[in-house]
Amino acid sequence: PPPPRLLDHGGRARCGVTLTRNTEDMHTVYDELLAAVKAGGARISHKVRRGAVPPLDIAGMVACEAIEDGEELVRVPHRLFLSLRRCRSMEKELSAAVERMSGAMHGREADAFHAACLARQLRASEGRRRGPEESGEVRAAN
């Protein structure tokens, strides 16, 4: 069956948004993420794992052993953070394009730029993770 679509009160599709279910195994994705950040110099304690706890049951990192006061659980090098400042240094052209749209975004230019930068970085990482054929990436022939 086709994926569900967001509909307005009249039953018409809104904004052309299509929702799809993520079919990837989240434990595998988590393991791949940990391997990638560790390869980039991060340190992750064996005392944390992927999990969810009540009352919110939102997936994230949870403690699986007792933690001592002041014990380091995660250390990630600054260069791996995708902060607004880092995005601006990586995506100068995109940043300038969003700034030129000033006023159209009602003061939300920084948020719009940050979201666009993160989307680009995620898209690029997906291509590296799966390869261009599986990710839908198309490259020009020489």
Give residue-wise pLDDT tens across range 56-107: 999 899 999 999 999 999 999 988 888 999 999 989 998 888 888 877 778 8
**What is the pLDDT confidence band of residue 135, given thresholds at 50, 70 and 90?**
very low
pLDDT in tens, 5-60: 555 566 665 555 555 677 788 888 889 889 989 999 999 999 999 999 999 999 89
**What is the pLDDT confidence band of residue 142, given thresholds at 50, 70 and 90?**
very low
Rounded CA separation 112/95 (Å): 10
- pTM for the complete prediction? 0.57
Give the per-residue pLDDT at 22: 72
Give the per-residue pLDDT at 19: 59
SS (H, E, C) the chain: CCCCEEECCCCCEEEEEECCCCCCCHHHHHHHHHHHHHHCCCEECCCEEEECCCCCCCCEEEECCCCCCCCCCEECCHHHCCCHHHHHHHCHHHHHHHHHCCCCCCCCHHHHHHHHHHHHHHHHHHHHHHCHHHHCCCCCCC
38, 74 contact by CB (below 8 A): no
**What is the pLDDT confidence band of residue 109, given thresholds at 50, 70 and 90?**
confident
State phi, psi for 12 to the nearest 5 degrees.
-90, 150
